[in-house]
């Protein structure tokens, strides 16, 4: 089976061609970072217009790089939510049009499920596994039992880890997106110079919180009494990175215990989402998994951020499990993986 996957839920216009024997034939991403950088974040209207302007070109490029004709595609999948609804509509409408024109199945993919199942594309990770899904808009731990079969253990009660990276970077004066900039600036920094908090340390449950960390960074900058020099920036970035990684690992410990109690046959801890590209976090999670007797898997860096390959693979898994979706499927700005999980409570809750 050869499937075309489209991803337009935020600020990447992406398309990929993937086979059901785990070959990524192409994975094309048109980033909008430079369009949004002057605003310090993603502007939904700009994102939607950019998707509309580039999606046809990106699809053609993905097919060309794969060496596959449109007539050879067996199905087409698109991220149908959650995300910025203007962009989601562009990808879904394009995918539906291709499906109608070619007479092939259309698959509506949950963007988060695309991230969740990437480890099965790259490493053939068996179900069930424990997932840390962490990005700019989402931060949660889930037991992944199969396509469309998730049990959420914890979620953010305010901000996501990626948002904490972006907003603290902006406070320091670093450009958007903040995560990669903080990682670069932290090299050689002292991660213990500034006493930043680890929110919710020791609290019951598996939920996350990062708003207090952002406040602490703001207060730290105010206490400096001067514009941060190069050493200040380097040390503060190292402290921010360490605090976020420590917080994620700390809140994962009860999640690991819950996972192993419910599924003693489970063998893997997986991280996915844009923040999974952070090398300091990967090292910390590798150590945590080893201590817990789990195998740690993180996707290759190009597959951590939003991409079409993850949507194509999730489309393959969903198509085999459930068949295609009706063409009247409505894109969803909100689409939780675990629909039975209680609604999270806190200022700024994202999921």
Residue 190 corresponds to which tokens in the numbers above? 């002292």
Our CA angle for 305, 343, 350, nearest 5°, is 30
Q: Where are the domains of the chain?
A: 2-109+307-322, 127-301
Distance CA 318, CA 120 (A): 13
Residue 296 corresponds to which tokens in the numbers above? 């740690």
Task: Return per-residue pLDDT of the chain as tens, 351 residues.
Answer: 999 999 999 999 999 999 999 999 999 999 988 899 888 889 999 999 999 999 999 999 999 999 999 999 999 999 999 999 999 999 999 999 999 999 999 999 999 999 999 999 999 999 999 999 999 889 999 999 999 999 999 999 999 999 999 999 999 999 989 999 999 999 999 999 999 999 999 999 999 999 999 999 999 999 998 999 999 999 999 999 999 999 999 999 999 999 999 999 999 999 999 999 999 999 999 999 999 999 999 999 999 999 999 999 999 999 999 999 999 999 999 999 999 998 776 544 444
Fold of 127-301: Nucleotidyltransferase; domain 5 (3.30.420)
CB-count burial class (<10 Å; 0-12, 13-18, 19+) for 201:
exposed
Distance CA 126, CA 270 (A): 11
Question: Nearest-CA neighbor of 117 among 153, 154, 79, 160?
Answer: 79
User: Does residue 310 come out as left (phi exceeding 0), alpha (psi in the -120 to 50 range) or beta?
Assistant: alpha
The alpha helices in 137-278, defined as continuous H runs, are 161-172, 178-185, 211-224, 230-262
- Spatial contact of 179 and 278, defined as CB atoms under 8 Å apart: yes
Distance CA 79, CA 68 (A): 21
Question: Nearest-CA neighbor of 270 among 124, 155, 159?
Answer: 124
The pTM score is: 0.94
Cα separations in angstroms, 176 against 34, 36, 181, 235, 273: 9, 8, 8, 19, 17
Is CATH 3.40.50.920 what the domain over 2-109+307-322 is classified as, yes or no?
Answer: no
Q: Cα–chain-centroid distance for residue 326?
A: 26
- Same CATH topology for 2-109+307-322 and 127-301: the answer is yes
CB-count burial class (<10 Å; 0-12, 13-18, 19+) for 82:
buried
State the DSSP code for 74: -
Give me the pLDDT at residue 348, please.
46
Give me the pLDDT at residue 280, please.
97
């Amino acid at each position: 089976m050869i499937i075309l996957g489209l991803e337009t839920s935020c600020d990447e216009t992406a398309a990929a061609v993937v086979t059901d024997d785990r070959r990524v034939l192409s994975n094309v991403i048109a980033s909008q970072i430079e369009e949004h950088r002057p605003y310090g974040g993603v502007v939904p209207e700009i994102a939607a217009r950019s998707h509309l302007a580039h999606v046809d070109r990106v699809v053609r490029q993905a097919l060309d790089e794969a060496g596959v004709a449109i007539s050879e595609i067996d199905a087409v999948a698109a991220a149908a939510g959650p995300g910025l609804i203007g962009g989601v509509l562009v990808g879904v409408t394009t995918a539906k049009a291709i499906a109608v024109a070619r007479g092939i199945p259309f698959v509506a993919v949950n963007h988060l499920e695309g991230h969740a199942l990437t480890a099965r594309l790259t490493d053939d990770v068996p179900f069930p596994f424990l997932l840390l899904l962490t990005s700019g808009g989402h931060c949660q731990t889930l037991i992944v039992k199969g396509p469309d079969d998730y049990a959420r253990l914890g979620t953010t009660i305010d901000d996501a880890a990626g948002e904490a990276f972006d907003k603290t970077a902006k406070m320091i004066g670093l450009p958007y997106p903040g995560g990669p900039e903080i990682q670069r600036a932290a090299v050689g920094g002292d991660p213990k110079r500034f006493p930043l908090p680890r929110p919710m340390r020791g609290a019951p449950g598996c939920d996350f919180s990062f708003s207090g960390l952002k406040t602490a960074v703001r207060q730290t900058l105010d206490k400096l009494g001067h514009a941060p020099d190069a050493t200040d920036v380097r040390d503060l970035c190292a402290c921010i990175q360490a605090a976020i990684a420590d917080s994620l690992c700390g809140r994962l410990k009860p999640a690991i215990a819950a996972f192993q109690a419910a599924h003693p046959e489970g063998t893997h801890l997986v991280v996915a989402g844009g923040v999974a590209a952070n090398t300091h976090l990967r090292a910390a999670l590798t150590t945590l998994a080893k201590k817990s007797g789990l195998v740690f898997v993180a996707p290759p860096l190009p597959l951590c951020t939003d991409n079409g390959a993850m949507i194509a693979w999730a489309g393959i898994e969903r198509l085999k499990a459930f068949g295609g979706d009706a063409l009247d499927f409505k894109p969803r700005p909100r689409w939780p993986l675990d629909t039975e999980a209680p609604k999270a409570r806190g200022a700024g809750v994202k999921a």
